[in-house]
Chains A and B, each alone.
Chain A
Amino acid sequence: MADAEAFDFVCNQIEARTALDRLAARGTVRIALKQAGLDSRSVTPGQMAVVAEKLLVAELASRGIADSATICNEIASKARRLVGVAGAETPDAVFRRLGG
């Protein structure tokens, strides 16, 4: 199963705006997603934006990226404008529905 569009978008943005190469950018975003309990294959634009704002800032700063807060806020703002593509149903969605 391929990575979600929101994940690819944020990785590409980080690669373009920082000194991180493709592998490092994707690895950094994956670490942030893992901390958030999310999966790169099913993350939505809204979730990706929150991760960028709340977790990615520190991850980029720890890799020596200057002004990571501004970069992440801009990426988050753009990520929110992405239109999420409905993928496979997540366990969250199923268990929410089962609660009635």
Chain B
Amino acid sequence: MTRVLDAFLLASTLAFVLAGAVVGARLLLLSARTRELSDFLVGFSLFDLSAIGYPLILLGSLGDLSLAHTKLAAIASSIAIALGWAGVFLFTQRVFRASEAWSRLLAFAGIAALAYGLVAGILFIQQASDAAALLSTRNPTRFLSIAAVAAYVWTSFEGFRCWDQARRRLKLGLADPLVVNRFLLWGCIGVSSLMSVVPSLVILHSGGDGSTDFASRISTALGGLIASIALQLAFLPPAAYRRWLTRHASV
């Protein structure tokens, strides 16, 4: 059973890394053409988290690394994921709530929590006497995960809210079915990201080990798999999927 779960977790992680890296790179190329900050933010976040941050976390969790290399991987992955999650806050604020003062405050608070988690986390990692200490509840990098939960709750709420509004416009012929579906998928990407972050955070705070907990690993694997499928369908949809959505909307 453990082997099956290991294989499932590895497959879903690789699927997420691949989908996020490809979609992120495509959106970064798009942003180079359009010169739009929103395009850059979403492309950067996706590429940074999936192609740099998560692989570095995996690298750091390999048992056969020296303490110095484990610390280096932990610091590098913390920097990468803090930047990626800051991008999620900025994208959500800029795209969904650009004119609302409270959204600027929320994004600022989220990024401040990430900055604190990163700086205090790096200092903690540098002083850690062994690899086990890095998993301690005293490790301030947990603030990164707490801020990530806020970012994903916010962005998925906005995705579902826009989906609901866009569905109504679609009935009046005022929306593109592909865009309506993209909002839904964006909400799903946020929820599936929460499935990966929340269980490990809860287990960390209850003194357990997320890397061995069955429920946490299943949730992480499913979250990664759903996110990779949703990313592909949202930003690189196959022609058959586009046709199906258009036909479904016209019916």
| B-binding residues in A (CB < 8 A) | 1, 35-38, 41, 47, 50-51, 54-55, 88-89, 91-92, 94-100
| A-binding residues in B (CB < 8 A) | 26-27, 30, 34, 36, 38-39, 42, 95-96, 98-99, 158, 162, 164-169, 172-176, 178-179, 182-183, 186, 234-237
User: Closest residue to B178 on the A side, CB-wise?
Assistant: A99
Chain A residues contacting B235 (CB-CB under 8 Å) are: 98-100
Interchain CB contact under 8 A, B36 and A97:
yes
The DSSP consensus for interface residues of chain B is helix
A41 vs B97: C-alpha distance when bound (angstroms): 12
Interchain CB contact under 8 A, A91 and B169:
no
A92 vs B170: C-alpha distance when bound (angstroms): 12
Number of A-B contacts (CB under 8 A): 73
A41 vs B100: C-alpha distance when bound (angstroms): 12
Chain A residues contacting B183 (CB-CB under 8 Å) are: 91, 95
Chain A residues contacting B182 (CB-CB under 8 Å) are: 95, 98-99
Chain A residues contacting B158 (CB-CB under 8 Å) are: 91
A95 vs B182: C-alpha distance when bound (angstroms): 7
Tell me, rounded to whole Å, the shortest Cβ–Cβ distance linking B196 to chain A.
22
Interchain CB contact under 8 A, B164 and A91:
no
User: Closest residue to B27 on the A side, CB-wise?
Assistant: A98
Between A38, A95, A99, the greatest number of chain B beta carbons within 10 A of the residue's beta carbon is seen for: A95
Interchain CB contact under 8 A, A97 and B39:
yes
User: Which of A37, A41, A55, A98 makes the CB contact (< 8 A) with B39?
Assistant: A98
Interchain CB contact under 8 A, B34 and A91:
no
Chain B residues contacting A95 (CB-CB under 8 Å) are: 162, 179, 182-183, 186
A-B contact sample (11 more), CB < 8 A, given A37-B165, A37-B168, A98-B235: A36-B174, A37-B166, A50-B172, A89-B95, A91-B95, A91-B162, A91-B183, A92-B175, A95-B182, A99-B235, A100-B30
